[in-house]
Structure 1
Amino acid sequence: MHTLNPSDIRFFSGQSHPELAAGIASYLSIPLDTTYFTRFSNDNLYIQLGASVRGRSVFIVQSLTPPVNEHLMELLMMLDIAHGAGASEVHAIIPYFSYARSDKKDAPRISITARLIADLLQTAGVTHLMTMTLHSPQVHGFFSVPTDPLTARPLFVWYFKEKKRDLKDTIVISPDVGRSKPAARFAARLGIGMAAAQKQRISDDKVVFGNSIERQVEGFRRVLIYDDEIATGATVLELCNLLIQWGIEEISVICTHAVFTGNSMLKLANIPELTEIITTDTVPIPQEKHNPKLRVISVAPVFGEAIWRNSTRQSIGDLFTYSDEIIEEAIYED
């Protein structure tokens, strides 16, 4: 835990995830400043920052969670307010960056929405951006201001090492070849093997896998499915069913962003062979979606450490080798 001078910092939260913002502020031993939100009868939004920002570094925490467009508009307005009120720096802390999948034009007459959002954030006055585990890392290239891409991978590694899990006959699987590099780094940290599945998405809630993955998991009893986010759960659900058919006895699912739309959490939890779903709090999980198989790791100390280093003009290049203190404070079970 570190301390910043509250007189130099203003720390605000949008309405998407005030609990995470409070956790980050607590790590930094600074107050979470008040923000006033008002909805007029014509549905227009009115926002007022509750503390002077002139000449100060302003940090605004807002995950782009459902309702995504509402929370995006809040963030844009808060950035614009801070910029217009004379803040010396305006930092957007976006733990979950929605629309990160929309990074290319793969059909006619569509928007590259991730680039559009980058343009909007910069127009609103952001001078620095922090995110965690973008679905498409190249989205960082859409920004002309500094961006810091953080990762939850060391937290997941710590979880398995701290629990002293027997990883004999265990393999890590990336459900998508495009995400194989992060999965390979995770597997290497655990000292086990890794395989990547060939996936074809048919629709938002339907995928099919190639046959090559069956040969790669032959001889293993346990699988750790490693992904960046789960929304409908269609990918993980289909992969779990195939793995069980191929003789896998125990499955753990690891993902950074627990979007879990509809009843996707329940569908996964109802698989007997799936023993745990390990995720973070970049996205708030409603109480009704909590499950005994769910394990949540807080990323508040990770963002807190990154903010502290940025504010004290220290490198965060080695942040991915988190100290034991950060890991110890980050972990909790629900």
Structure 2
Amino acid sequence: MSFSDLKLFALSSNQDLAKRVAAAIGMELGKSSVRQFSDGEIQVNIEESIRGKHVYILQSTSSPVNDNLMEILILVDALKRASAESVNVVMPYYGYARQDRKARAREPITSKLVADMLQVAGVNRLLTIDLHAAQIQGFFDIPVDHLMGAPLIADYFERRGMVGDDYVVVSPDHGGVTRARKLAEFLRTPIAIIDKRRSVDKMNTSEVMNIIGKVEGKTCILIDDMIDTAGTIAHAADALQEAGAVAVYASCTHPVLSGPAMDNIQNSAIKKLVVLDTIYLPEDRLIDKIVQISTANLLAEAIIRIHEKRPLSGLFALNKNK
């Protein structure tokens, strides 16, 4: 299969994933370099011709969020000025997605600002996985291809026989019910919901209020789109154990895992935490409790289908992304 008019570039956030995506497509990464001046300014250089090419940039806006976002914007500008036919951003993890609405007076809607910045820079299409808020797609006037991590996570549990009524998929909040229901459909399990109240004054904290659904005597599988400090997921796991769960597994698409996350996970009732590689985790963060699944084949297939103008609907089914 030839992709002579397709180029894939990687910036700083997730080089390992980008190399695996390129290998899955059957191509090499484009040649570019990133450097910072002593005052923190970022410079991105393209080291090969991309005239007339359909270019894909793979970069998550994970920590350092602002540097990684700025790298994308600068490379997009360089590509447009170098006569790329189209510039498509593959952003496995879309940073600032939690700032999708005004929760209090005078707050910004920063996820909309990021969408505006990408479009003004010249992005023609965005490919991402599990936006924190699906309505962010509506912040764009360009095509947004929104992939799901649930089939990959479901495949992990299905391969281990974790299906049926002895298991229950648990959403850690009301907002994640749709996500939990999709995983439960794949695994043929019931669902439960943790009713919690998040503090508006304390970042990353919440209080478990009630568990809706039967978890006693069952193995629970928590699922969320992202885990940041892991306080919420650890608290939820402990509450499920206290409610009589036999064992508690957790899963998420985006392992932000900042601050005290590793300690919270290690000291919680979570038996295994299954995450995707939308955010790079160095070896010292991959503790025994964490299992990381690659999105490389999923992203590679999505890029190929977009490039060949084929639908992506086949990527939303179980067992399609092995």
TM-score bracket, normalised by the shorter chain, equals over 0.9
Q: 1:138 is matched with which residue? A: 135
CA contact (8 A) 1:10 1:51 kept: no
Confirm whether residue 302 of structure 1 aligns to residue 301 of structure 2. Answer: no
Q: 1:332 is matched with which residue? A: none
Shift of 1:53: 1.2
CA contact (8 A) 2:163 2:187 kept: no
CA contact (8 A) 1:152 1:256 kept: yes
Deviations 1:170-224 (Å, cap 9, x if unpaired)? 211100111101110110111110012222111213211222x1x5235333110
Structure 2 length normalisation: TM-score?
Answer: 0.95
Shift of 1:165: 3.0
Q: 2:240 is matched with which residue? A: 243
Q: 1:268 is matched with which residue? A: 265
CA contact (8 A) 1:4 1:308 kept: no
CA contact (8 A) 1:266 1:289 kept: no
Q: Which residue identity does 2:119 align to in structure 1? A: Q
Matches within 5 A, 1:163-174: 163-165=160-162, 167-174=164-171
Gaps of 5+ in 1: 328-334
CA distance in structure 1 between the partners assigned to 2:181 and 2:168 by the alignment: 10
Moved more, 35-44 or 311-320: 35-44
Q: 1:176 is matched with which residue? A: 173
Deviations 1:129-175 (Å, cap 9, x if unpaired)? 00000010100100000010001111111111112236542211100
Confirm whether residue 39 of structure 1 aligns to residue 18 of structure 2. Answer: no
CA contact (8 A) 1:171 1:220 kept: no
Deviations 1:93-139 (Å, cap 9, x if unpaired)? 00000111111112122210000000000011100100000010100
Structure 1 length normalisation: TM-score?
Answer: 0.92
Confirm whether residue 286 of structure 1 aligns to residue 285 of structure 2. Answer: no
CA distance in structure 1 between the partners assigned to 2:305 and 2:215 by the alignment: 45
SS of the equivalent of 1:60 reads strand
CA contact (8 A) 2:25 2:304 kept: yes
SS of the equivalent of 2:83 reads coil
The 3 A distance-change label for structure 1 pair 218 and 173 is: closer
Stretches (4+) displaced over 4 A: none
Deviations 1:13-42 (Å, cap 9, x if unpaired)? 110111111111111001101211222233
CA contact (8 A) 1:4 1:28 kept: no
Matches within 5 A, 1:213-232: 213=211, 216-232=213-229
CA contact (8 A) 2:8 2:29 kept: yes
Matches within 5 A, 1:70-85: 70-85=67-82
CA distance in structure 2 between the partners assigned to 1:153 and 1:245 by the alignment: 27
Shift of 1:322: 5.8
CA contact (8 A) 1:53 1:86 kept: yes
Q: 1:204 is matched with which residue? A: 203
Q: Which residue identity does 1:299 align to in structure 2? A: T
SS of the equivalent of 1:292 reads coil
